[in-house]
């Protein structure tokens, strides 16, 4: 549970804040806003969300930044919507359409037959529009210049993958996966296997480790007083992760 706090404006905060990230902001900008509200310089997030994605974003303040490696070990759960028959250069709805396919022949049974290919340990190629570095430069900076470079596949783990509904050309799905998974790439790869292409329309991170979106604090109305009442101590964070294990 969040710890009660009697900290004053001048006192340093050491703990974790579970923020419900709104759409339209980068994870970095969310951290900057929390830092200003907290009156602190030492802060960071544990697990990037794309600007258009929403949901759980864990913000570490003060000495809690030492927990980054620990927080990265937790699995993450997402609910998203992919759109079949349309590929974009960013693999999500913010990108430019680069290919159009026919999603009309896709069936629920056909979708479920290919899902096992994407469960377990699988290799995934990071998208060009990502923060992965190539020779010291972020891939997205190269992609914006129209430069494509080869990327090495990365091993990720998909623990659970299920279809929630199908309303062609849209598919609503839930996925539980390891850190480092690009859900928009997962959607694009599923579309490729279906033969029609796909992109991710929307995405919400519903859980990161033991922290769920139902307990996340809204960024829009966040005040310092509210921040203090929702901070998890370093000890509480470690205890929550030990219970999950």
- Give dist(CA 244, CA 127) in Å, integer: 31
**Active-site annotation holder among 50, 89, 92, 189:** 50
d(CA 201, CA 123): 23
Residue 191, number of CB atoms within 10 A of its CB: 27
Q: How many CB atoms lie within 10 A of CB 226?
A: 13
DSSP 92-121: BTTS-EEEE---TT--HHHHHHHGGGGSEE
- Are 95 and 129 in contact, with CB atoms under 8 Å apart? yes
- C-alpha distances (whole Å) from 207 to each of 78, 126, 139, 179, 214 are 7, 22, 27, 12, 9
CB 142 within 8 A of CB 134: yes
- In 26-130, DSSP assigns E strands to 43-45, 54-61, 76-84, 86-88, 97-100, 120-124
50 a catalytic residue: yes
Catalytic sites, residue numbers: 50
């Amino acid at each position: 549970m969040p710890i009660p706090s009697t900290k004053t404006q001048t006192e340093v905060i050491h703990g974790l804040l579970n923020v419900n990230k709104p759409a339209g902001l980068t994870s970095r900008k969310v951290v900057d806003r929390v830092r200003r509200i907290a009156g602190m310089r030492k802060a960071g997030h544990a697990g990037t969300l794309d600007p258009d994605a929403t949901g759980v974003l864990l913000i570490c303040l003060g000495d809690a930044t030492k927990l980054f490696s620990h927080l990265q070990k937790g699995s993450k759960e997402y609910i998203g919507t992919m759109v079949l028959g349309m590929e974009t250069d960013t693999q999500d709805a913010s990108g430019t359409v680069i290919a159009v396919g026919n999603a009309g022949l896709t069936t629920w049974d056909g979708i479920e037959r290919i899902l096992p290919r994407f469960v377990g340990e699988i290799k995934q190629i990071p998208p060009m529009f990502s923060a992965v570095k190539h020779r010291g430069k972020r891939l997205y900076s190269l992609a914006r210049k129209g430069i494509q470079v080869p990327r090495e596949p990365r091993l990720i783990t998909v623990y659970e993958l299920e279809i929630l509904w199908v309303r062609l050309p849209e598919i609503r799905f839930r996925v539980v996966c390891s850190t480092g998974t690009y859900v928009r790439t997962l959607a694009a790869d599923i579309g490729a296997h279906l033969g029609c292409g796909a992109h991710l329309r929307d995405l919400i991170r519903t859980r990161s480790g033991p922290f769920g979106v139902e307990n996340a604090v809204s960024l829009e109305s966040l005040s310092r007083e509210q921040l203090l009442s929702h901070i998890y101590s370093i000890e509480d964070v470690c205890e929550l992760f030990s219970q999950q294990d």
